[in-house]
Chains A and B, each alone.
Chain A
Amino acid sequence: MQLITCPHCGPRAQAEFEFDRAVESVLALDATEAEAVARLYRRENPKGWSWELWRHSAGCGVFLKLHRHTVTHEIAEVSLLDAAP
Chain B
Amino acid sequence: MKRYSSLGLLTAGLTGHTSWPRAWRDPTPKTRYDIVIIGGGGHGLATAYNLAKRHGLRNIAVLEKGWIGGGNTGRNTTIVRSNYRLPQMQDLMEFSLKLWETMTDELNYNVMFSQRGAIFLGHSDSDMTKLAERGDAMLARGLDAELLSRDQVAKMIPVLDMSRDARFPIEGGLNQPRGGSARHDAVAWGYARAADALGVDIIQNCGVTGFSIRGGKVEGVETTRGTIGADRVGICVAGHSGQVAGLAGVKLPVESQLLQAFVTEPIKPMIDTVIMSQSVHCYISQSDKGEVVLGGDPDNYPTYSQRGVPMRLEQVAGEAIALIPALSKLRMLRSWAGTTDMSFDGAPILDELPVEGLYLSGGWCYGGFKATPGSGWLFADHLATGEAHPVAKPFALDRFERGATVDEAGAGPKARDR
Contact = CB atoms under 8 A, between A and B. Distances in A.
Complex: A in contact with B (CB within 8 Å): yes
**DSSP majority for the A interface?**
mixed
A46 B69 CA distance: 24
Nearest to B257: A19
A70 B304 CA distance: 6
B25 to A, nearest CB: 31
Q: How large is the interface on B (under 10, 10 to 19, 20 to 34, 35 or more residues)?
A: 20 to 34
B240, B400, B413 — most chain A CB neighbours (10 Å): B413
A5 interface: no
Contacts, number: 71
Contacts of A20: 414, 416
B7 interface: no
Given A43-B252, A43-B255, A19 B301 contact: yes
The size bracket of the interface on A is 20 to 34
B309 A14 contact: yes
A45 interface: yes
A41 B311 CA distance: 30
Contact of A47 (B253, B304, B311): B304
B205 interface: no
Given A1-B310, A14-B309, A45 B416 contact: no
Given A1-B310, A14-B309, A21-B416, A45 B242 contact: yes
A45 B243 contact: yes
A40 B303 contact: no
Contacts of A22: 255, 302
29 contacts: A1-B309, A2-B309, A15-B311, A18-B416, A19-B302, A19-B416, A20-B416, A21-B414, A22-B255, A22-B302, A40-B253, A41-B413, A42-B252, A43-B251, A43-B252, A43-B254, A44-B251, A45-B242, A45-B243, A45-B255, A47-B243, A47-B304, A50-B302, A70-B256, A70-B302, A70-B305, A71-B304, A72-B305, A73-B307
Given A40-B400, A42-B252, A71-B304, 15 more contacts: A1-B310, A1-B311, A2-B309, A14-B309, A15-B311, A40-B253, A42-B253, A44-B242, A44-B246, A45-B255, A52-B301, A54-B301, A71-B305, A72-B305, A73-B307
Interface of B: 240, 242-243, 246, 251-256, 300-305, 307, 309-311, 344, 400-401, 413-414, 416
Query: Lowest 10 A-B CB distances belong to which pairs?
Result: A45-B242, A19-B301, A42-B251, A41-B253, A41-B400, A1-B309, A37-B401, A40-B413, A47-B304, A71-B304
Interface of A: 1-2, 14-15, 18-22, 37, 40-45, 47, 50, 52, 54, 70-73
